[in-house]
Structure 1
């Protein structure tokens, strides 16, 4: 059986958004699913940012991530090896990793470079499910995760803008756009 890894990140931001180059990961959520979108395993960790350790009020309100969660978290160089150990046990069955849009891939690559980290994910294909969904549904332009779920006749489960619930909701759309 093949597995897919669905990743969602939450990152530092401000109202109006910051360029990816100025953002840092504050939460990693990953859902390992089979081709039916059923979760096999998951990973969830908070990450303490280095450059801007204080979350903006906008960021706290958007993500519902409290400053204390971040203050007690480890930095990415400590958290990422935990992720790599977790994914290593599933590596043989892993086909690709996916995210809703391309932001998560860009943010990971930037933070890997910044912290001089290596990742098994870099050896796997990345699939942008947002683009795949738009193409499968013949949409004029890609839509947000919540809108995609609604188009598919689903409701968002759990809190929005939290890494694991966003990853799990993205995973629910996987069977609709990936060949079985």
Structure 2
């Protein structure tokens, strides 16, 4: 694909800084072109690279990814996005004269995928109770899964699991009968997060596969257990939205299995096992980060309902987890 090759330009030399008397007292870092400021010449270079990438077929995209030691798996749209993100990152780094600087908003991302009680045909007023509480921790700097947490939870409103629920989740009646209530499990989950120094020493946020985990399951469970909804779980990354917006795909291609397949991966484990689901969601998140996605918080809980967080909202990590408190 010699005709389609893209040549990186040498780093842009930073002009000599001219400080005013006030500015001399402050140490300033070289800044990259501001988001939305497309007058910078570097964006013309990015546009030229994007045009070349758009004209490549899948085989050419894979060859170019291999040359750059990038992942060669995935459908054409994924490969194209991977290359574009790579060149954009390189151009902006050169323009800012930065050394390995990346837009890392968090130190850790905590993936959560609850399993809850269910019937084959849930009635409209059915109360889903959490029966598995898993968390998988991603180190953003190493792009690796570094730890996990899992406990089963004893349901109270519907203590007897349906045959459908057992078959779907693989969680048996014995597992939940021997488990503790949600309040006790949440306490240990908080202790686990605190041991990692999340929200104190390290910036972190939560990530889910859709809106239901926080907006439905956790919110409902806290009400049933007479617990105040935890502040640290009020904002999260909905990876389905992030995936759809980053790779420019329709909503129908954002189911877990579909996202994995489009990235050239297979599901690893047992579907609807909360811990296995969380690990596979984490694998998708890691691939997206490697492809250049920034994975910003895009949803929050507002008045008991999940709401979208605008991209213009300030970037914040989740607050330090606190021991769950009972409702008054």
TM-score (structure 1 length as normaliser)? 0.91
Whether 2:110 is the aligned partner of 1:2: answer no
Whether 2:171 is the aligned partner of 1:65: answer yes
Whether 2:294 is the aligned partner of 1:179: answer yes
Structure 1 stretches of 4+ moved >6 Å: none
Give a deviation string over 1:22-52, Cα, whole Å, max 9, x none.
Answer: 1100001100111254112110000011100
Q: Secondary structure at the match of 2:131?
A: strand
What is the count of residue pairs matched by the alignment?
A: 179
Q: Which runs of 5+ in 1 are unaligned?
A: none
Q: Is the 8 A contact 1:48 1:75 kept in 2?
A: yes
Cα displacement (A) at 1:141: 1.0
Q: Secondary structure at the match of 1:22?
A: coil
Paired residue for 1:50, among 152, 156, 162? 156
Cα displacement (A) at 1:15: 1.2
Q: RMSD in angstroms over aligned alpha carbons?
A: 2.0
Paired residue for 1:30, among 107, 111, 135? 135
Paired residue for 1:147, among 246, 250, 258? 258
CA distance in 2 between partners of 1:149 and 1:18 (Å): 31
Q: Is the 8 A contact 1:37 1:173 kept in 2?
A: no
Q: Is the 8 A contact 2:206 2:233 kept in 1?
A: no
Structure-2 change in CA distance of 1:18 and 1:43 (3 Å): farther
Structure-2 change in CA distance of 1:9 and 1:19 (3 Å): farther
CA distance in 1 between partners of 2:204 and 2:258 (Å): 27
| Corresponding residue number in structure 2 for 1:112 | 222
Q: Is the 8 A contact 2:209 2:240 kept in 1?
A: yes
Whether 2:196 is the aligned partner of 1:79: answer no
Q: Greater relative contact order (Cα 8 A, min sep 6): structure 1 or 2?
A: 1
Cα displacement (A) at 1:62: 0.5
Structure-2 change in CA distance of 1:149 and 1:108 (3 Å): same
Cα displacement (A) at 1:12: 0.4
CA distance in 2 between partners of 1:136 and 1:179 (Å): 9
CA distance in 1 between partners of 2:143 and 2:120 (Å): 33
1 or 2, which has the higher strand percentage? Answer: 1
Q: Is the 8 A contact 1:37 1:172 kept in 2?
A: no
CA distance in 1 between partners of 2:147 and 2:267 (Å): 20
CA distance in 2 between partners of 1:158 and 1:75 (Å): 26
Q: Is the 8 A contact 1:84 1:120 kept in 2?
A: no
| Corresponding residue number in structure 2 for 1:133 | 243
| Corresponding residue number in structure 1 for 2:208 | 99
Structure-2 change in CA distance of 1:14 and 1:82 (3 Å): same
Cα displacement (A) at 1:114: 2.3
Q: Which runs of 5+ in 2 are unaligned?
A: 1-105, 296-328
Q: Is the 8 A contact 1:21 1:110 kept in 2?
A: no
Q: Secondary structure at the match of 2:156?
A: coil
Q: Secondary structure at the match of 2:114?
A: strand
CA distance in 1 between partners of 2:124 and 2:255 (Å): 19
